[in-house]
Amino acid sequence: MPYITTSDGTEIFYKDWGTGPVITFSHGWPLTADDWDTQMLFFYRKGYRVIAHDRRGHGRSSQPAQGNDMDTYADDLAALFDKLDVRDAVMVGHSTGGGEVAHYIGRHGTSRVKKAVLIGAVPPLMLKTPSNPEGTPLEVFDGFRAQLAANRAQQYKDIPYPFYGYNRDGAEVSQGVMDHWWRQGMQGSILAHYECIKQFSEVDYTEDLKKIDVPCLIMHGDDDQIVPIAAAAEKAIKLVPNGTLKVYPGFPHGMATTHADVINADLLAFIES
């Protein structure tokens, strides 16, 4: 399987399909590149080169004790871009992956990037603070960590319900989608997943968003129960210099899976605009 080895010896698994214009995908917590299956297949068949990786500590990548932080995630992505000679990429990030896209640009610039897309993304800041009263209290994330440490396997059975909006009246529940989520999560390192909670909840991406100097599409469901829109997309759009916000009424956090036809069509329109 294809891997790159980073400067600290960590092996990062990646997929690289096709030879056309480049689209890269950064996944959410605690998932893998496989969470982008629907998008990868769709855009590959449209003639694009599609690239997705398993973040360190996730999926098929190494499970080091060190480097489970957003600075290192961004540097790992930069190493992958260098190895694959990525140019003029459209970077797409979901949830924590949206933080990764923003922080990559904030840390490494846009010399290899043409456009950016943030889907249900965590920036600018999920944590409730005096200056971010719309955020989520720290106690919620502490409870999340406690649940993970006590019984990660059960926690990963429970999360897909709000993640995909399957806890809403009238929702069409897919057991296969939930099993796919659980399988991806359990592939990874409990240590990496535990430490990554801080990265998606407590890291402030405000300055990163200000540095996204390429066209940026922000896509968010207004029924996102994992990353509430008020502290995320509604604030992020005010920070990116050249952004477009598209809100999806009733769509959940995992809308790229539950409403792939809509999301893929809108992504294609933005990419080709």
- Active site members: 95, 224, 253
Half-sphere exposure of 110 (CA within 13 A, CB side): 16
Residue for token digits 């409870």?
143
Alpha-carbon torsion angle 65, 162, 120, 141, nearest 10 = -40
Euclidean distance between CA atoms 126 and 129, whole angstroms: 9
Rg of the chain taking only CA atoms, in angstroms: 17
Q: How many CB atoms lie within 10 A of CB 226?
A: 22
Helix (H, G, I), strand (E, B) or coil at 124: coil
Contacts of 245 (CB under 8 A, 6+ apart): 218, 220, 233, 234, 236, 237
